[in-house]
Amino acid sequence: MIYTITLNPSIDYVVQVNQLNLGELNKMDNEMMFAGGKGINVSRVLHELAYDTTALGFLGGFTGDFIVEALREKSIQTKFTPIQGATRINIKLKADSETEVNGRGPGILPAEADSLLHQLEHVTNHDTVIISGSTPPSLPNDFHKQLADQIAANGASFVIDTTGEALKSVLGYRPLVVKPNKEELAELFGVTLRHQDDVIYYGKQLLDLGARHAIVSMAGEGALLFTEEGIYHGQTPRGQVKNSVGAGDSMIAGFTGKFKETADVTEAFRMSLAAGSATAFADDLAKAEDIFQLQEKIAITRISGKVKEENHEH
Ligand SMILES: Nc1ncnc2c1ncn2[C@@H]1O[C@H](COP(=O)(O)OP(=O)(O)OP(=O)(O)O)[C@@H](O)[C@H]1O
Ligand SMILES: O=P(O)(O)OC[C@@]1(O)O[C@H](CO)[C@@H](O)[C@@H]1O
């Protein structure tokens, strides 16, 4: 089973305004609501690709009910931890450009946090747990470490897609894959990444800090995959970008699902890029048939040899 944990789910309220006039009354040209939050998106794409998945995380209020119902309609398994607070609503404003306004998230009571940790006592060494997205502000700073501890104690593998200290704090638990985008990588190390060589240097550091694989996504410029055996560049296919929300989550789903199925890291990378681009080219998250079609078009080039040995030379 591939579990996803979304500590801070959301309703994604997508609002399209063809001509946005700030400071004036605007009328929506289109509006949509999706069950969102990074881990939930990962579960949606895993399910689309027919991988077994269960979505975990904190959920409460009428917004939480909306999410449960939306996932039930898609037959996606869920075991959310109920909370007293209300799940947030994130605004995705589509005008000439895309603007996102994300909520901070509800308060989580200590008993609610414990309840999620207890749920993880049931995962086994056959399972993979994907922890994705931001953390509601009321959770303790070391909550990711507590999760990783529990997952490691049960022998399950895990994937982490978050930022900053929360990400750094669990790299030593040897996550199967981490996937910062270029900006998140720069922020993680407090540097500016000007050239591909800079991205390669800091991407390698993720492995030195403990990650088993790292993907650095670079939007339309594709992505770099770091493994102990080498570094690879994956080219994204050309297409019309309609929606970047969830493209990164689709990459995580594509990689984790395919890797669990085949243990072939370059094929997992190919599926990851296909899923990311298929979402970028769609209004909502990617459809399986589009992912499979794009898979054929992803070119992967090996650009460097053994990462660990090279790093020792620095
Ligand atoms: N212009 C594009 N053309 C083709 N594919 C794209 C484009 N932009 C994004 N993608 C696809 O989406 C993936 C993720 O994009 P990006 O690097 O922006 O990640 P991210 O910032 O994590 O995404 P998100 O917007 O979901 O937070 C890329 O690796 C690629 O597969
Ligand atoms: O605030 P976070 O948890 O970092 O991001 C939340 C979010 O922007 O990420 C998803 C897309 O990746 C959306 O469904 C959701 O609104």
- pLDDT digits 0-9 by tens, 246-262: 999 999 999 999 999 99
Residue 182 alpha carbon, nearest atom of ligand 1: 17
Lowest-confidence segment of 30-44, 144-158, 300-314 by average pLDDT: 300-314
pLDDT at residue 233, as a whole number: 97
Single residue among 120, 155, 174 that ends a domain in this structure: 174
Count: domains in the chain: 2
Nearest CA to ligand 1 atom 27: 248
* Distance (Å, whole) CA 94 – CA 224: 29
58 to 9, 63, 78, 151, 209: CA distances (angstroms): 7, 12, 11, 17, 29
CA distances from 190 to 180, 204, 224 (A): 14, 15, 20
In this structure, the answer to whether residues 217 and 163 fall within a common structural domain is: no
Beta strands in the chain (DSSP E): 2-6, 10-16, 30-36, 53-59, 77-78, 81-82, 88-94, 98-101, 128-132, 157-161, 214-217, 223-227, 230-234, 300-304
| Binding site membership of 184 for ligand 2 (Cβ less than 6 Å) | no
Whether ligand 2 lies within 6 angstroms of the CB of 133 is answered as yes
Our mutation pick for probing the ligand 1 site, out of 160, 251, 295, counting the most ligand atoms within 8 A of Cβ, is 251
Tokens standing for 144? 């990711």
Weakest-pLDDT range from 84-88, 212-216, 245-249, 310-314 = 310-314
The token pair at 106 is: 């509800």
Residues 168 and 208 occupy one common structural domain: no
| Ligand 2 centroid, distance to 178 Cα (angstroms) | 16
CB-neighbour burial class of residue 257 (10 A; exposed 0-12, middle 13-18, buried 19+): buried
Which residue, judged by its Cα, is nearest atom 11 of ligand 2? 246
8 pocket-lining for ligand 2 (C-beta < 6 Å): yes
161 catalytically annotated: no
Q: How confident is the model at residue 304 (pLDDT cuts 50, 70, 90)?
A: confident
CB of 244 shorter than 6 A to ligand 1: yes
Residue nearest to atom 24 of ligand 1 (CA): 248
Closest ligand 1 atom to Cα of 184: 21
C-beta of 217 in contact with ligand 1 (< 6 A): yes
Give the pLDDT band of residue 313 (cuts 50, 70, 90): very low
Is residue 203's pLDDT more than 90?
A: yes
> Using CA atoms, how far apart are residues 88 and 103, in angstroms rounded to an integer?
6
Nearest bound ligand to the CA of residue 36: 2
The residue count of the chain comes to 314
Marked catalytic residue, from 12, 127, 161, 249:
249
Looking at the structure, tell me whether residues 186 and 211 fall in a common domain: yes
Region 1-17: what's the mean pLDDT? 97
Q: Are residues 18 and 134 in the same domain?
A: yes
Protein residue whose Cα sits closest to atom 7 of ligand 1: 220
pLDDT tier at 312, thresholds 50, 70, 90 = very low
Give the pLDDT confidence score for residue 306 in this predicted structure.
64
Say what percent of the chain tops pLDDT 70. 97
| Pair (237, 142) in one structural domain | no
| Residue 132 · residue 105 · CB < 8 Å | no
Residue 132 beta carbon below 6 angstroms from any ligand 2 atom: no
Sequence-ordered list of residues with C-beta below 8 angstroms from that of 229, at least 6 positions apart, any chain = 305, 306, 307
Q: What is the pLDDT of residues 218-253, one digit of tens each?
A: 998 999 999 999 999 999 999 999 888 899 999 999
Do 185 and 66 lie in one domain? The reply is no
Q: Name the residue with the closest Cα to ligand 1, atom 22.
A: 248
37 lines ligand 1 (CB under 6 A): no
- Nearest residue (by CA) to ligand 1, atom 23, is 248
Q: Which of 140, 158, 174 is the last residue of a domain?
A: 174
**Ligand positioned closest to the Cα atom of 237:** 1
Q: Based on the fold, state whether residues 34 and 161 are members of the same structural domain.
A: yes
- Higher pLDDT among residues 39 and 310, named by residue: 39
What rounded mean pLDDT belongs to the chain? 95
Evaluate: CB of 248 within 6 angstroms of ligand 2. Answer: yes
C-alpha 293/C-alpha 310 separation (Å) is: 36
Q: Give the ipTM.
A: 0.97
Q: Based on the fold, state whether residues 207 and 100 are members of the same structural domain.
A: no
272 vs 235: CA distance, rounded Å: 11
- Domain identity same for 133 and 191: no
Given a cut of 50, whether residue 17 has pLDDT beyond it is yes
DSSP assigned state of 181: B
Interior angle at CA 42, CA 41 and CA 43, nearest 5 = 90
Instruction: Choose one of 143, 174, 205: the last residue of a domain.
Output: 174
- Domain of 112, in residue numbers: 1-174
- Domain at 301, CATH number: 3.40.1190.20
111 and 77 together in one domain: yes
Q: What is the largest CA-CA distance in the chain?
A: 60
Within 10 Å of residue 298's Cβ, how many Cβ atoms? Answer: 20
Is the domain of 202 the same as that of 164?
A: no
130: Cβ–Cβ under 8 A, 6 or more apart, which residues?
2, 3, 4, 5, 39, 42, 158, 159, 160, 161, 252, 256
Domain identity same for 156 and 221: no
